[in-house]
Structure 1
Amino acid sequence: MLSEFARDLQAALANQPHAISPKYFYDAEGSRLFDRICELPEYYPTRTELAILERSVGEFAALAGRGAEIVEFGAGSLRKVRLLLQAFDAPARYLPIDISGEHLRDAAAILRGEFAGLEVRPVVADYTTDFALAPHEGAGKRIGFFPGSTIGNFTPDEALVFLQRAARLLQGGALLLGADLVKDPAVLHAAYNDAQGVTAQFNLNLLARANRELGAGFVLPQFAHYSFYNAPLQRIEMHLVSRARQAATVGGERYVIEEGESLHTENSYKFTVDGLRALAERAGFRPGPVWTDPDRLFSVHWLHAPPGASR
């Protein structure tokens, strides 16, 4: 039986244009490379968002109230969620949601060791689909946490659907959302084309992963990392461009990639503050406070979820 990765890669290679979800970047090696990206001088999003979170976490805690549940969409940087867990008033529990069970278990074990008495309940699920969370008797507001501008990896339609699902899941609570902002294209270009070539390695690792897990036979030097800002669509696009006519095999099927063809591996949409607030409102949220850095590179939004029946 083929894995989901194999099926999606087959579909990407069989269809034109070739495109695959960026979620497949994040095997162990891809996660290691992304951690390196976050430390690069050109890559502003992580350090800028962290500075906003550190400066404003007391305001988040006041908005959340006592005994909040923290629901993180994706088991992301523990450094970020630690800020919330340390600042919030007696949080009832932490529920990280991710498709990677191993990553979740590791994160949960670390946080259980650091926060005695905190209930940490990992949820193995795809947070882009519908799923339910067990109620917690006596808990306060349910606060969603979606940092890193991961919302930008969705198409506008997908982002709306995700926010609609989040609004239903967080009824009566709120979503704390990080969103990268529209800015000088030169700044964006540098962030995704770093001088050390780490982003290129990260992009190419998707093919290396296909070789390791699926025996695809991609020849990595025959692909070039290509990333650019598509201003009319307000998004960074990341591609792997074939330098020559070549072939790969996935699940017993052979696929030919022509010279000059690309595999589209990621979109990273950028937002205006007003545009993100309008999108959230369409999804059912009531936009609340917004925090940005002095250079307005990045934004963090408090979005009030609609009221609903008690959990």
Structure 2
Amino acid sequence: MSRIVYVNGEYLPEGDAKVSIFDRGFVMADGVYEVVSVLDGKLIDFPGHQARLNRSLDALEIGQPMTDDAYLEMFRALVEKNRINDGLIYLQVTRGNPGDRDFAYPPKDTPQTVVAFTQSKPGLAENPAVKTGWRVITLPDQRWDRRDIKTVQLLYPSMAKMAAKAQGADDAWLVEDGKVTEGTSNNAYIVKGNSIVTRELSNDILHGITRAAVLRLAREAQLQVEERGFTPEEAAQADEAFVTSASAFVMPVVEIDGAKIGSGAPGKIAERLREIYLDEMRKTAL
């Protein structure tokens, strides 16, 4: 069955969906996106993702094409129309179609382009990689300096992901001024004793919605949280490590640049955080 997707107010079979070749998202990467997980047919942490979408749009002065309630209604409709039990919803909002290519922004009354689609992923929360953990390599962070805005400029993260796969790893941790910023599509953490260490919020990293929830739950579980940068060498000497994202939730990391982290197996703290995160998110899903 063909997926039903959303394009500018219409629900269409994916084969009928079209966006102009002059759309700023296509010619300028002038757009933002969000990815919301679906578990048991419900949306995970929708308010957090919606707040970040609004922040990203404001940062780029794109304008807001829909209300929060309209997004929620549209997401729920896509889940229902595509019979999604576990999976993802991808949303992209661009500055729209100015009718031609120009570096200058189009007039402010140019309608934004809004597209969304689902990805069915049965058993999303039962990812077998959780049992073995990810292996990561480190690469220089060569992205632009506003990584806090969730833009569609994803070429370098894609290149880094492929470089990791070429070396038999699962992902890359990006390094700037000697310290890890984040993964290609996730926030990065190490654990030493009872302390979780992760980079502080700034323009240098994406303000992860899963990150915010996991750190809140970690503090509630009486774990120490240090928001600071850490080096790859510090990571190699850590007791354990993990990443967080909307699709991976909490994923253990067991190796960095060929060096085992801790015992080389997923750690207990990452395991516990994943458990309490999924439990909390299922309780509060919309």
Tell me the TM-score normalised to structure 1 length. 0.25
Higher relative contact order (Cα pairs below 8 Å, separated by 6+ residues) = 1
Structure that is richer in strand per residue: 2
Write 1 or 2 for the structure with the bigger share of helix.
1
